[in-house]
Structures are given as structure tokens and as C-alpha cells.
């Protein structure tokens, strides 16, 4: 693969990589582990609560997340699969590190269960009905080229129109 993790940086909309579907990670190699550590570093520096590989220009099916901001709560999700989502949905404001200064009320299932591989190559399963569930769904969307601007209400699109146009310019 030959990626230099230290050179990774957060890419901004409308970079075309943000619209592409990612490819599964075949093996958790030392290079993948370095990429994950760099993504966690970038997420904390931003600061943010999640960061997906396309947001650093990589078409890899992985993201990192941390709802608390405490480093010991860092999580890596390689080849994640949302295996269950709740029937109850809620609208909450979301932002995105690749869409700075844009927020929108996004409707998502309140609870999800996700399965993934961690940074050590071990498969795990975790569930949440709180902020982590929302973060996982947001980052999971990135892996399929979906952004919050795709899920915005017409009112949020109007409210964010100027900032979106500035990013596109």
C-alpha cells in the first residue's frame, strides 16, 4: 500500500474521495495500525469525536471514534458492519470535520449494534443507544460516500447554503 501516515491530513468537501465507496481492509498490518493511530491523533487535534478513512483521503473501510475525548476510550472500527439498529429514531445536530462550520439536524436510529475488527485484528461487537451510536452511524456513512449534506432537511440546506458554496468554490 505504501502510505505515509504522518502525511495524512483531514480533507475537506468537495474533495471527490469523500464521495467514493471504500474497500475492505484485507489484513490488519503494522501500516494499517499506524494509519489508525494517525487518524486518532487527527481526530483529537481537530477536535472531533470520529474520523473515517475517506476523510484523510484513503478508500479503506475503517473509522475511529471516541465519544468522551478521553484517550483510553479511543476505538478503531475496521471493516465495520451495523448488525442491528433500533426502530426509534431521533433528530440531533451533527457536524463533520470535512464540512467545517456546517451543522444539521440529522434523523438516525437511536440505538445500534456494530461489529468490527479492532486495531489488534480482533473481532468485536458493541451496542449503544447514546452518542456513540450516532457517531458510529455518521462515520459508517462516510465509508459509503454519504455526507450529512445528503441527509439535511430543506431548511438546513438553506441555512448552510452560503458555507457549502464557500467550500465548493
Give the closest residue to 35 by CA, choosing from 17, 12, 68, 58.
58
The active-site residue, picked from 4, 122, 139, 166, is 139
What percentage of residues in the chain have a pLDDT greater than 70? 99
Q: Check residue 2 and give its pLDDT.
A: 81
Buried b (16+ CB within 10 A) or exposed e, 34-60: bbbebbbbbbbeeebbbbbbbbbebeb
Has 122 been annotated as catalytic?
Answer: no
Alpha-carbon span 115 to 107, nearest angstrom: 22
Q: Check residue 83 and give its pLDDT.
A: 92
CATH code of the domain containing 53: 3.90.45.10
Residue 1 scores a pLDDT above 80: no
Give 100-150 pLDDT, tens digit per residue.
999 999 999 999 999 999 999 999 999 999 999 999 999 999 999 999 999
pTM for this entry: 0.96
User: Domain tally for the chain?
Assistant: 1
Classify strands 99-109 and 50-52 as parallel, antiparallel or unpaired. unpaired
Q: What cell numbers appear for 58 in the block?
A: 484513503
Amino acid at each position: 500500500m505504501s502510505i505515509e501516515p504522518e502525511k495524512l491530513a483531514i480533507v475537506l468537501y468537495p474533495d471527490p474521495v469523500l464521495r467514493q465507496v471504500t474497500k475492505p481492509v484485507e489484513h490488519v498490518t503494522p501500516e494499517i495500525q499506524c494509519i489508525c493511530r494517525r487518524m486518532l491523533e487527527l481526530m483529537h487535534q481537530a477536535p472531533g469525536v470520529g474520523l473515517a478513512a475517506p476523510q484523510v483521503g484513503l478508500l479503506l473501510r475503517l473509522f475511529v471514534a471516541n465519544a468522551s475525548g478521553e484517550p483510553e476510550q479511543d476505538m478503531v472500527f475496521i471493516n465495520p458492519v451495523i448488525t442491528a439498529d433500533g426502530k426509534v429514531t431521533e433528530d440531533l445536530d451533527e457536524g463533520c470535520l470535512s464540512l467545517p462550520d456546517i451543522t444539521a439536524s440529522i434523523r438516525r436510529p437511536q440505538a445500534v449494534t456494530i461489529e468490527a475488527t479492532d486495531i489488534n485484528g480482533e473481532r468485536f461487537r458493541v451496542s449503544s443507544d447514546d452518542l456513540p451510536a450516532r457517531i458510529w452511524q455518521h462515520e459508517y456513512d462516510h465509508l459509503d460516500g454519504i455526507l450529512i449534506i445528503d441527509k439535511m432537511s430543506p431548511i438546513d440546506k438553506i441555512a448552510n447554503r452560503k458555507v457549502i458554496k464557500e467550500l465548493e468554490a
